[in-house]
Amino acid sequence: MRSYYPCEQVRAAEAPLLAALPEGTLMRRAAFGLARVAAAELRSRTGAVAGRRVTLLVGSGDNGGDALWAGAFLRRRGVAVTALLLDPQRAHRAGLAALRAAGGRAVPADPDRIGDPDLVLDGVVGISGRGPLRPAAAAVVEQITAPIVAVDTPSGVDPDTGAVDGPAVTAAVTVTFGAYKPVHALAPTRCGRVELVDIGLELPPPCMVAAEPAEIGAIWPVPGADDDKYSQGVVGIVAGSARFPGAGVLCAGAAVAATSGMVRYAGSAAPVVLARFPEVVAAPSFAEAGRVQAWVIGPGGGTDHQAADTLRDVLATDLPVLVDADGLTLLSRQPDLVRGRRAPTLLTPHAGEFARLTGRRPEPDRVAAVRALAADWRVHVLLKGRSTLIANPDGHVFVNEAGGSWAATAGAGDVLSGMIGALMSAGMAPDLAAAAGARAHSTAADLAARGGHDLAARGGEPGWAAPTSASAILDRVPAAVRSLRGMAES
């Protein structure tokens, strides 16, 4: 599991070390790791380190200090280093002295003095940064064409929420120190590749965790010697209708693809679902469906009285229930249907459905927003997005950074719900099932976009991708599960 910590927890963890260690030790530890990553970037991008040019953007705090010390370490490897000081009077004194002693240059920041660097280190602000870049820093950053290595966090991006509301750095790499911060999972397009430098922090339980793909692969339910079609979990799907059968096909099909358990479908789209997936056991209504271990309700189900009555009947069971799409719209009108429900309940809203449930959109602090809904309604909540967040009623948050936006296509949510419902019926807790399903879903979307080339299997070299569809994602679910299980085995 990769753990993420809010800035104030990182600062609190730094404090005893700062007090115990000689002045500047922690910063030099961080800067040495930063210089090592920067040198590796130079080598991989330009074929050499010595003789290359690096420009430092230096703010007024310790983030700038990290950059200055890293500049001094790079100087010792023959790199030409120029520091642009955004606030010369307040630049980190010891770092500036170290850079100059190593033969580096330091000048007041000016867009005309960026030079032609091979790499830029963004040491404008780190965990004390709030809001967008200020004008002087923004004027310089917008002129930079070289790849940027962000020091700790990309400046101008909120380190705790990943929110961007003005000029901000877009980094190719972010080198963070001591602990991952939420921004590293919530703003992946701003952070680029994230590298962690250990500086010896002792940390409390994290605010958010990301399950590694191999961990998801290791817990994915597969049939054992004593299993039969019932013992692996039976999931019931209430989705789609005779008029709009598509969501029923995608949701039931995804449940079929995700595990070996049995899938029951209940609804008027039964003939169309069966035509596509004959292994589904279909009934024309919820009342006529057989026994299941978990229900999925909502995708394409409509919001009329009959749909509302079925939602009430499903939630009146003592089974785990996943409510998605139209089911969430109905729930926003009758929250009491889940409040106080004792059986596990998982809601899977996108930002708009979240606003319908709570009366406000989840931005800018999506982690706090999803945690609050889960705690207030005593449910599990999966908030969809490039970085999908999953909160349980006790405040634990999983994050799944999709690595791309290929799943942003009509019907992909129906596929996700079917996958998660199958995992819930196999006995997984709703938040773990949601985290596992979200990871497999984003893996399937990436495979579908790349025509089946598995990046992980091919060592991650870039393969070109193209827009894809929910049906194509559904078709890649088995390959995605194989990829995750393969990582667990390797």
Ligand X SMILES: NC(=O)C1=CN([C@@H]2O[C@H](COP(=O)(O)OP(=O)(O)OC[C@H]3O[C@@H](n4cnc5c(N)ncnc54)[C@H](O)[C@@H]3O)[C@@H](O)[C@H]2O)[C@H](O)CC1
User: Which residues of this chain interact with ligand X, rule CB under 6 A?
Assistant: 14, 18, 26-27, 30, 59-64, 66, 124-134, 137, 151-152, 156, 177, 199
Residue 133 touches which member of K ion, ligand X, none, C-beta under 5-8 Å by kind: ligand X
268 in a labelled binding site: no
**Residue number with CB closer to ligand X (26 or 263):** 26
Contacted entry of K ion, ligand X, none for residue 267, CB cut-off 5 to 8 Å set by kind: none
Binding-site partner at residue 183 among K ion, ligand X, none, CB < 5 to 8 Å by type = none
Among residues 317, 314, 320, the alpha carbon closest in space to that of 432 is found at 320
Q: Which is nearer to ligand X, 94 or 488 (CB)?
A: 94
State yes or no: 385 annotated in a binding site: yes
Residue 62 is labelled as binding a ligand: yes
Is 350 marked within a binding site? yes
Shorter beta-carbon distance to ligand X: residue 31 or 383? 31
Partner whose binding site includes residue 454, from ligand X, K ion, none (CB under 5 to 8 Å by kind): none
Smallest separation (angstroms) from ligand X to the CB of 137: 5
Find which of K ion, ligand X, none residue 95 binds, CB within 5 to 8 Å per kind.
none
Contact 294, 233 (CB under 8 A): yes
Comparison of 42 and 141: residue with beta carbon closer to K ion: 141
* Smallest separation (angstroms) from ligand X to the CB of 45: 23
Distance of closest approach, residue 85 Cβ to ligand X, in angstroms: 13
The nearest distance, CB 166 to ligand X, in angstroms, is 8
Q: Say how far apart CA 52 and CA 134 lie, in whole Å.
A: 29
Please report how close the Cβ of residue 195 comes to ligand X at its closest, in angstroms.
13
What is the SS3 string spanning the chain?
A: CEEECCHHHHHHHHHHHHHHCCCCHHHHHHHHHHHHHHHHHHHHHHCCCCCCEEEEEECCCHHHHHHHHHHHHHHCCCCEEEEEECCHHHCCHHHHHHHHHCCCEEEECCHHHCCCCCEEEEECCCCCCCCCCCHHHHHHHCCCCCCEEEECCCCCCCCCCCCCCCCCCCCCEEEEECCECCHHHHCHHHHCEEEEECCCCCCCCCCEEECCHHHHHHHCCCCCCCCCCCCCCEEEEECCCCCCCHHHHHHHHHHHHHCCCEEEEECCCHHHHHHHCCCCEEECCCCCCCCCCEEEECCCCCCCHHHHHHHHHHHCCCCCEEECCHHHHHHHHCHHHCCCCCCCEEECCCHHHHHHHHCCCCCCCHHHHHHHHHHHHCCEEEECCCEEEEECCCCCEEEEECCCCCCCCCCHHHHHHHHHHHHHHCCCCHHHHHHHHHHHHHHHHHHHHCCCCCCCCCCCCCCCCCCCCHHHHHHCHHHHHHHHHHHHHC
Looking at the Cβ atoms of 13 and 150, the one nearer to K ion is: 150
Is 247 annotated as a binding-site member?
Answer: yes
Q: Is 128 annotated as a binding residue?
A: yes
When CB distances are held under 5 to 8 angstroms depending on the partner's kind, the choice from ligand X, K ion, none that residue 480 binds is none
Minimum distance from CB of 99 to ligand X (Å)? Answer: 16
229 is in an annotated binding site: no
**Which of ligand X, K ion, none does 122 bind, CB closer than 5 to 8 A by kind?**
K ion
95 labeled part of a ligand binding site: no
| 471 annotated as belonging to a binding site for a ligand | no
Q: Tell me how far, at minimum, the Cβ of 154 lies from K ion, in Å.
A: 6
Q: Give the closest residue to 434 by CA, choosing from 378, 381, 369.
A: 381
Using the minimum distance from each CB to K ion, give the nearer residue, 151 or 435. Answer: 151
The residue at minimum Cβ distance from ligand X is: 126
Q: Least separation, in Å, of the C-beta of 489 and ligand X?
A: 36
CA-nearest of 159, 158, 152 to 199 is 152
Q: Which is nearer to ligand X, 140 or 258 (CB)?
A: 140
Name the site residues for K ion (rule: CB under 5 A).
122, 126, 150-151, 155
Identify which of residues 59 and 221 has a Cβ nearer to ligand X in the complex.
59
Q: Is 414 annotated as a binding residue?
A: yes
65 is in an annotated binding site: yes
| Residues making up the binding site for AMP | 384-388, 413
| Residues making up the binding site | 62-66, 122, 126-132, 152, 155, 247, 300, 350, 384-388, 413-414
